[in-house]
Structure 1
């Protein structure tokens, strides 16, 4: 039996096993949200005259089996709070978890017999002494059976949490970061401009966010380059600022952070003009611009603005030309440039950027995009967990041309909801999740975790090859506390 606390992946099935008065219900109530716990005692009270109405036991267990089956079938974390001494029932729950593709663990309550009897004597309504003796005898046999039944883990009661998959290994990663710290850059992505003050105070809000981000230790601020809100984030009619104008404003509001787009769709602007915009920002910001570019994907946005939305092949041809043209625009001279689809008679761009080179970041994690990044970009921005980042890093290294000394850097973008402690994380999930969305699914979507969880996740991303992580904070509004909380994560990498 393991004694130390563990992080379990969400969803999972947790089977409590042990005699009466061993502490199962107390531990479950202290460890899990009540919505996750299916209790035979509570169901007995539901179908009978109370939790001690033994005549209702058969009906209560029939109901429990139905509830457990329904929850596991919906892939919901389910904590089964019964004696757990019936082998056939345990194996049935385990089989249901396997069928649903959900991990299943058993938690064994090996409470000494005398302690169980002492607790029972203190109860208002005691378990009959002979019944408890029978349970204690059964438990002695069951605890020998559990290791052979096929659970993913058999745990002892203790500090245990069910967390999104991204945080399952966070505890060990936090220890590695404390013992052998590694550096990591952090960027803040702004993908929404809706705030309580409304558009009359949007400029002031952006200024406050920029300064607070610097104070929290962020290394960069990045904005989405769209002209209307994207459906993954909000509604089309929500206030949404033009990206490069916003970056220019942030340049005047901040002193240190790098400023860039994540990322500029290559179809949105004449590419030579985009080069001029980025160079201007670099000069006005004192050499802090990052030019992020990508294939462009939002067809409805193109239609709304009357732009052509070329085929994937045509957009890739344009993107490859752009990746070659932009550094020419930022270099000396005024020579003509011609690519597969672009023809620029004069590449004059003065003043030239202060940075040489001005960083060129390519967004996207498909093989074709990564191959372009390996050839032309300074950084590739990707999504996914640590395993995905490791795969992308290997792919970049394998496809980096022989004449290039090192592969492009790998940056990572994720939505990140941070609470200082687990209970605060639960509260934030409940506050911000859509009304009809299961809390666990929302928590996974926004990578909801404590400061410690996030330190572990980012350490794993750094070990996988990420040099910078950009985070979008879904709870960033007029209250800038989320930036302060993020600063506690950033401090662990300084």
Structure 2
């Protein structure tokens, strides 16, 4: 859910968001994601944008099965020790359903707007690597001091520990840095479903090479793709697809080696839309190879 501008205005945002979360959970979708931004990035920055982890905590109280995560947290937004504590708290309160989605950050406008330091690109990636190292330490229960170039943690205590160790999803397809960090530290990666069908196989091949370089089993990494999905029963609305058409399109991503498709829908707040999503999920279960 990248946008929170729905019918009813601000007074209804909480109710609508809660209903969407419950409907997604009850429809059997595997995961629920919100953007982690301070300003809206689709349209005017003044558009409605909720703080991500507060929103996910609210969703945790209203759902039972669905995994909860950000797509993705900018590494510069929160001190890494506090970020890991935050995600751990979400995991504990949700009964083990939290995922840490993280990336190097890019939106300079919102950083400057709220007074958050915005380092150069190279430094952001260095901070990302240190944050990933800290996440592994804290979720391993290692309380020994951490001395990095940018962060110093005297005692990275993290109690209560996570119910289920949260998976780390690293967003982006940068071939020299992002995919290298994914191979070394990540449990999952996220790519974009763009117009060129050759991009995803290429990115996955680059990831495989990075895995080989560090001795990591490529099959251990959960490959996700972010796509758009506008479902209607008859597919008559411009840009829409029927559930059957969506199954055919998304199954092709599975054939490319994608394990999970995360979708954004412009009609996500429309009552009944998750009945169609459930049909797509059921249809994919019949065509995607076991284990995907």
Normalised TM-score (structure 1): 0.55
Q: Which residue pairs with 1:289 in the alignment?
A: 98
Does the CA-based 8 Å contact 1:217-1:491 persist in structure 2? Answer: no
Q: Which residue pairs with 1:404 in the alignment?
A: 216
Tell me, in whole angstroms, the C-alpha distance in 1 between the residues paired with 2:277 and 2:94: 24
Is the partner of 1:225 in helix, strand or coil?
coil
Q: Which residue pairs with 2:192 in the alignment?
A: 383
Q: Which residue pairs with 2:276 in the alignment?
A: 485
Deviations 1:259-288 (A, max 9, x none): 000000000000110000000000000000
Aligned runs of 1:39-438 on 2, under 5 Å? 190-230=1-41, 233-355=42-164, 357-367=165-175, 368-385=177-194, 386-400=197-211, 401-407=213-219, 408-423=221-236, 427=237, 429=238
Tell me, in whole angstroms, the C-alpha distance in 2 between the residues paired with 1:304 and 1:484: 40
Is the partner of 2:262 in helix, strand or coil?
strand
Distance of aligned partners of 1:402 and 1:271 in 2 relative to their CA distance in 1, 3 Å threshold: closer
Structure 1: tracts of 5 or more residues without a match: 1-189, 430-442
Q: Which residue pairs with 2:290 in the alignment?
A: none
Tell me, in whole angstroms, the C-alpha distance in 2 between the residues paired with 1:333 and 1:339: 15
Instruction: Measure how far apart 1:290 and its partner are.
Output: 0.2
Is the partner of 1:330 in helix, strand or coil?
helix
Deviations 1:437-489 (A, max 9, x none): xxxxxx4xxxx422222111111111111111110111223x22322222211
Tell me, in whole angstroms, the C-alpha distance in 2 between the residues paired with 1:274 and 1:321: 13
Tell me, in whole angstroms, the C-alpha distance in 2 between the residues paired with 1:373 and 1:308: 24
Tell me, in whole angstroms, the C-alpha distance in 2 between the residues paired with 1:422 and 1:269: 42
Over the aligned positions, Cα root-mean-square deviation in angstroms equals: 1.4
Does the CA-based 8 Å contact 1:411-1:469 persist in structure 2? Answer: yes
Deviations 1:79-132 (A, max 9, x none): xxxxxxxxxxxxxxxxxxxxxxxxxxxxxxxxxxxxxxxxxxxxxxxxxxxxxx
Instruction: Measure how far apart 1:402 and its partner are.
Output: 4.5
1:472 aligns with 2:283: no
Tell me, in whole angstroms, the C-alpha distance in 1 between the residues paired with 2:141 and 2:26: 36
Does the CA-based 8 Å contact 2:30-2:67 persist in structure 1? Answer: yes
Aligned residues: 280
Does the CA-based 8 Å contact 2:183-2:214 persist in structure 1? Answer: no
Is the partner of 1:307 in helix, strand or coil?
coil
Tell me, in whole angstroms, the C-alpha distance in 2 between the residues paired with 1:306 and 1:402: 38
Distance of aligned partners of 1:461 and 1:250 in 2 relative to their CA distance in 1, 3 Å threshold: same
Tell me, in whole angstroms, the C-alpha distance in 2 between the residues paired with 1:372 and 1:466: 19
* Residue in structure 2 matching 1:455, options 235, 247, 263: 247
Does the CA-based 8 Å contact 1:473-1:482 persist in structure 2? Answer: no
Does the CA-based 8 Å contact 2:137-2:143 persist in structure 1? Answer: no
Deviations 1:203-227 (A, max 9, x none): 2111111111112221110110011
Normalised TM-score (structure 2): 0.92
Higher helix share: 1
Is the partner of 2:91 in helix, strand or coil?
helix
Instruction: Measure how far apart 1:317 and its partner are.
Output: 0.5
Does the CA-based 8 Å contact 1:291-1:360 persist in structure 2? Answer: yes
Larger radius of gyration: 1
Tell me, in whole angstroms, the C-alpha distance in 2 between the residues paired with 1:342 and 1:201: 40
Structure 2: tracts of 5 or more residues without a match: 286-292
